[in-house]
A = this chain, B = another copy of it.
């Protein structure tokens, strides 16, 4: 007779073919593996040893290998340092491990070791993700819980961690305490260990109620997506290299910002850019261009045009009024401020004379031949010389950004501002730019 848990999993529509099970050695994935054995479903195992916890990591790997042997299961093991990868690619350990893991899974599936990926994410994970997103001020999608995606199936999404622990204990499933999370995801762990237990004391049914909530919100999300996609499909003209809206047509759209978000956010445009784009359309500011890593949107006389970026496109990010802007490597907040609000000495804030700087401000990579008059120096200097004097590495040099006003260089980002735009005794108002590099 099948266990309750196996029955629940069997009642779902699993994809056809062989599953690639991501197994860490923790209880979630070890139980998922056991359920696959119980249901006699075709699978292969993938275990990634990131060498983050020395001997502990090796013991995780040893356990997975042992069980795979016991059950004569097809298994794939990979050992590679997440720390090295993170350093090389300037990522957090968490991002690095994620990227390495999914790259490897993709490779395995491409090499037809399996047909689709399966992970052990469960209802408790969904609640944690919900709370983390709430903590950031998210929208509907961030509150709808973890979901199945194309090529990735998650059969435990409606199952609680307690049910998994129960199964592990009843069927004597070997697993190892998964301590890796403790390092990765401080906030997730805080919710898991402090806030959620407190809440569950008050409401032992919390997870079951969240399951209902996720169902409701998924339906609302599906309605929103359906509606917005239909609005777009009705009005979008698509050609081989570009898509476009008639701007007059666009102004008839009931929810312009939500529609643009639905259209553009997956192409790498930020929420800030989309807000500004809506404003540009409303004020019919012809010529405005917005860039993501892979695409650009421009506002023409009569059209809103989306194009894939060309290799030799010189990308200029433009901001036409106070607000915030994200450019590669930086997030900037640009605001006016009174002189008594100026606080010098903060390295992540630059001040300019508001009468000297004028919108639109343009941000672009420097080019050979670019010159500026650096603050405190007697005259103009080549950007390349400034960077050499400052011993900036070749790699860093390439990523260097400039801020220009009226085609003049006002700021070499993260380095220094120009003498021509600085505040002095005659300054009446300042422009403050807070910046973060990432």
A residues neighboring B (CB under 8 Å): 134-140, 143, 187, 190, 194-195, 198-199, 202-203, 206, 208-213, 216-217, 219-224, 226-228, 254-255, 257-258
With both chains docked as a complex, state the minimum distance between the C-beta of A351 and any C-beta of chain B, in angstroms: 24
Assembled-state Cα–Cα distance A216/B136 (Å): 12
Q: Which of B135, B140, B211, B226 contacts A140 (CB 8 A)?
A: B140
Assembled-state Cα–Cα distance A211/B219 (Å): 23
With both chains docked as a complex, state the minimum distance between the C-beta of A333 and any C-beta of chain B, in angstroms: 15
Q: In the assembled complex, which residues on chain B have CB atoms less than 8 Å from the CB atom of A228?
A: 223
Q: Contacts A190-B202, A223-B258: A216 and B138 contacting too (C-beta < 8 A)?
A: yes
Q: Which of B136, B198, B224, B254 contacts A209 (CB 8 A)?
A: B136
Assembled-state Cα–Cα distance A134/B203 (Å): 11
Query: 25 interchain pairs (CB within 8 A)?
Result: A135-B202, A135-B203, A135-B209, A136-B209, A137-B210, A137-B212, A138-B216, A139-B220, A140-B217, A140-B220, A143-B143, A143-B217, A187-B202, A194-B198, A195-B198, A195-B202, A220-B221, A220-B224, A220-B258, A222-B255, A223-B224, A223-B228, A223-B254, A223-B258, A224-B227
Apart from A136-B209, A139-B213: 4 A-B pairs, beta carbons within 8 A: A135-B203, A140-B217, A143-B143, A223-B227
With both chains docked as a complex, state the minimum distance between the C-beta of A242 and any C-beta of chain B, in angstroms: 27
Q: In the assembled complex, which residues on chain B have CB atoms less than 8 Å from the CB atom of A254?
A: 223, 226
Assembled-state Cα–Cα distance A227/B143 (Å): 21
Q: Contacts A140-B140, A198-B198: A255 and B219 contacting too (C-beta < 8 A)?
A: yes
Assembled-state Cα–Cα distance A246/B373 (Å): 75
Counting chain B CB atoms within 10 Å of each CB, the highest count among A140, A208, A257 belongs to: A140
Q: In the assembled complex, which residues on chain B have CB atoms less than 8 Å from the CB atom of A194?
A: 198
Q: In the assembled complex, which residues on chain B have CB atoms less than 8 Å from the CB atom of A187?
A: 202
Assembled-state Cα–Cα distance A294/B235 (Å): 43
**Chain B residue at minimal CB-CB distance from A219:** B258
